Amino acid sequence: MRIYLSAPLFTQAQRRWNRSLAAGLEEAIAGSEVVLPQDFQFGQSYNDPRHSANICRACVAAVREADVMVAVLDGADVDSGTALEMGIACERAIPVVGVRTDYRESQDRGVNLIIAGACTELLREMSFGEDMSQLVKDLAGKIVAALKRAQKPV
């Protein structure tokens, strides 16, 4: 099973957290492969502006090839790239599992109403516990539930 992990990836802390979450999911869900767009590289760099179009195309293709998307919905507002990738997944009927650890409130379960509505499943786990293993366990359960709802093999 291919899981596309859409999340902010702009700081060292975000990139490390994404990598930890991906490794945990691969361990928790047998046969899973987590695709991390932060690892897409063209040329000698991960963020060379000359390759922005290639990176964009690679992200869109990876979303379209995914069996399920995990969308990290933290922040005062959801990352714009994540929101776009969620739209692509929804259009393709690819289940989206949203995860929010941010304790700030918004319209629906901590996020914008449209973002919440695009999620097949939504996990809200506050950041204060900082227990990655519990988050992975709970998120893996939501992924399995989303795939069952979409009637896709786990």
Buried b or exposed e, range 77-116, using 16+ CB within 10 angstroms = ebbebbbebbebbbeeebbbbbbbbbeeebeebbbeeebb
Q: What is the mean pLDDT of the chain?
A: 90
Which one is predicted more confidently, 51 or 87?
87
Mean pLDDT lowest among 3-17, 26-40, 88-102, 123-137 = 123-137
Say which residues have a Cβ less than 8 Å from residue 121's Cβ, sequence separation at least 6: 95, 97, 98, 142, 143, 145, 146, 149
Q: Coil, strand or helix: which one is 17?
A: helix
pLDDT > 90: percent of the chain: 66
What number is the average pLDDT over the span 75-82?
91
The answer to whether residues 95 and 120 touch, using CB atoms and an 8 Å cutoff, is yes
What is the model's pLDDT at position 109? 61
pTM for the model: 0.90
The percent of residues in the chain predicted with pLDDT above 70, rounded, is 95
Q: What is the pLDDT of residue 51?
A: 79
Q: Measure the CA–CA gap between 151 and 26, rounded to whole angstroms.
A: 21
Which residues on adjacent β-strands are paired with residue 35? 4
CATH class for the region spanning 2-149 = alpha beta
